[in-house]
């Protein structure tokens, strides 16, 4: 399904094939009947494809915070693959259907008190999600309509363009250091490619979460837009990118991103083993348990 000369997508683990067959299609919502749209959904993500523009919207709908669980990551890859294989689709907008949050990042419960087999399966799903999104042939636009720490930030960074709601209460960043964990090299590489080495180094060491105005200033996001105008702006940006011939844009994207992608592909199993070794340490498990307790108290 990938045109010659464009980055190949990594082979999909068998579990995703099984999950894909279980995903039910939804009938088109009544308010979308006027436009030539197709919608499909699973538990965590709603996808709407506007065939007239060739643009799909993937809305994260996994309350309370769109955490990146194994189920979410699996469904994300399935949805993205469906769009990649659909000739009617040339671009995709990622956004959230949950108020005030884009995505809170990796689901802590997937990394705490589980077996090494589970850690391996989970981390392979995290890798696959990034590999598919970062190498996508489609134009990818993130509409960050809420806070987006850690893995949520990575999803946005992996897109071609980032628009964030103009709200100083919303923040974004790779804040893993605050949790006592370390952002993997490919998170770091993606961040450096967007903001440059010095800003990335400082932000990663401090585990910084940048309020929207600061995120725009240092280049994590490309634009700030009032919340009510996010979709309008995303459509305008998408139209600008889609005005170019697909093959020229795709080959340029491949050329720019291939070294970073190749590095993970070459070290994928090693990266999984490093993750298992790190996350299994009692000191790390203790930090994660403490963080989960803190979250429970906040909810209480």
Catalytic residue among 133, 155, 176, 179: 176
CA-nearest of 119, 129, 146, 118 to 61 is 146
Catalytic residue among 151, 152, 173, 207: 151
Any catalytic annotation for residue 176? yes
Any catalytic annotation for residue 264? no
Let me know if 118 is exposed, middle or buried by CB neighbors in 10 A (0-12, 13-18, 19+).
Answer: middle
Q: Which residues contact 21 (CB under 8 A, 6 or more apart)?
A: none
C-alpha pair distances (Å), 94 with each of 68, 133, 149, 259:
14, 11, 15, 24
Catalytic residue among 106, 155, 261, 288: 106
Q: How far apart are CA 80 and CA 63, in angstroms?
A: 20
Q: How far apart are CA 190 and CA 196, in angstroms?
A: 10
Any catalytic annotation for residue 68? no
Report whether 177 contacts 206 (CB < 8 A).
Answer: yes
Any catalytic annotation for residue 175? yes
Catalytic residue among 137, 175, 224, 264: 175
- The set of catalytic residues is 106, 151, 175-176
């Amino acid at each position: 399904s990938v045109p010659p000369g464009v980055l190949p997508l990594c082979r999909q683990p068998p579990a995703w094939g099984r999950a894909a067959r279980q995903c039910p299609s939804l009938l088109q919502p009544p308010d979308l009947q006027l436009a030539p749209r197709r919608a499909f959904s699973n538990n965590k993500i709603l996808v709407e494809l506007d065939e007239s523009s060739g643009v799909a919207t993937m809305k994260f709908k996994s309350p309370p915070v769109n955490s990146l669980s194994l189920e979410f990551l699996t469904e994300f890859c399935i949805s993205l693959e469906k769009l990649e294989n659909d000739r009617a689709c040339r671009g995709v907008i990622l956004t959230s259907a949950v108020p005030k949050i884009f995505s809170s990042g990796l689901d802590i419960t997937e990394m705490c008190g589980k077996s090494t087999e589970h850690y391996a399966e989970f981390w392979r799903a995290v890798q696959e999600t990034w590999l598919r999104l970062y190498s996508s042939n489609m134009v990818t636009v993130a509409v960050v309509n809420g806070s987006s720490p850690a893995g949520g930030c990575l999803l946005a960074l992996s897109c071609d363009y980032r628009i964030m709601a103009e709200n100083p209460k919303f923040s974004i960043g790779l804040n893993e250091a605050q949790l006592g964990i370390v952002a993997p090299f490919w998170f770091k590489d993606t961040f450096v490619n967007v903001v440059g080495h010095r800003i990335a180094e400082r932000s990663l060491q401090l585990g910084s979460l940048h309020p929207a105005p600061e995120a725009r200033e240092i280049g994590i996001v490309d634009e700030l837009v009032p919340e009510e105008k996010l979709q309008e702006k995303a459509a305008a940006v998408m139209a600008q990118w889609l005005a170019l011939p697909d093959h020229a844009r795709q080959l340029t994207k491949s050329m720019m991103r291939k070294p970073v992608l190749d590095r993970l592909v070459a070290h994928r199993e090693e990266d999984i083993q490093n993750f298992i070794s790190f996350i299994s340490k009692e000191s790390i498990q203790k930090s994660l348990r403490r963080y989960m307790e803190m979250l429970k108290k906040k909810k209480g």
